[in-house]
């Protein structure tokens, strides 16, 4: 009788260990992209590149709040709300990308645009992965999902600081 809950508890820890390893691998993916950004930036004659319009920091910062709110909602045990906020973040990022292309900061418009697009598109893919997991797991697996969402949020903050602010 006692063996089964013990096994279930052990599997839960297994899953956490596995997720931490996976997040370590994902962190390396973004670390490599940030390294590429650092090299591109170090080799550019000027930064931001000459002729590039100023980056719309405010709009990108507003999107950040959606992601923060999603993380908080998940911690408060509101997976439905978190799902909505995560989707809102993706939609807002879509609008931001559209705006960037319009003001000539798109992926083909030079170093700043391409760096931001590469990092934010890949980040959005991981947010999307989190949304799928959230939709599939719902209220179950809360600790795993919270860990994942906090990680995705942390990555976004690093990307925002590195590309938009610094």
Which SS3 state, helix, strand or coil, does residue 74 take?
helix
Distance CA 15, CA 108 (A): 41
Q: Which stretch binds other proteins (CB under 8 A): 63-71, 109-117, 127-135, 149-157?
A: 109-117
Q: Which stretch binds other proteins (CB under 8 A): 24-32, 128-136, 141-149, 153-161?
A: 24-32
Q: Is 1 in the site for other proteins (CB under 8 A)?
A: no
Q: Is 41 in the site for other proteins (CB under 8 A)?
A: yes
Q: Which stretch binds other proteins (CB under 8 A): 23-31, 61-69, 86-94, 151-159?
A: 23-31
Q: Which of 35, 56, 31, 90 is nearest to 164 (CA)?
A: 56
Query: From the CB of residue 40, how many other CB atoms can be counted at a distance below 10 Å?
Result: 16
152 and 126 Cβ atoms separated by less than 8 Å: yes
* Residue choice 59, 87, 88, 122 for contact with other proteins (CB under 8 A): 122
Q: Is 132 in the site for other proteins (CB under 8 A)?
A: no
133 and 66 Cβ atoms separated by less than 8 Å: no
Distance CA 134, CA 97 (A): 25
What residues line the site for other proteins (CB under 8 A)? Answer: 2-4, 6-7, 10, 13-15, 17-18, 21-22, 24-26, 28-33, 35-36, 39-46, 49-52, 107-108, 110-111, 114, 117-118, 121-122
């Amino acid at each position: 009788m006692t063996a089964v809950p013990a096994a279930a508890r052990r599997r839960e820890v297994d899953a956490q260990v596995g997720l931490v390893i996976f997040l370590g691998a994902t962190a390396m993916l973004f670390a490599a992209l940030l390294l590429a950004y650092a090299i591109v930036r170090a080799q550019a004659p000027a930064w931001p590149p000459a002729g590039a319009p100023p980056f719309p920091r405010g709009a990108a910062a507003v999107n950040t709040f959606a992601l923060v709110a999603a993380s908080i909602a998940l911690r408060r045990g509101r997976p439905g709300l978190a799902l909505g906020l995560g989707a809102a973040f993706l939609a807002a990022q879509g609008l931001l990308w559209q705006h960037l292309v319009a003001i000539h900061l798109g992926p083909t418009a030079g170093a700043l645009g391409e760096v931001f697009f590469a990092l934010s598109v890949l980040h959005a893919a991981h947010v999307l992965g989190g949304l799928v997991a959230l939709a599939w797991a719902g209220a179950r697996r809360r600790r795993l999902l919270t860990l994942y969402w906090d990680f995705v949020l942390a990555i976004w903050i690093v990307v925002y600081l590195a590309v938009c602010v610094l």
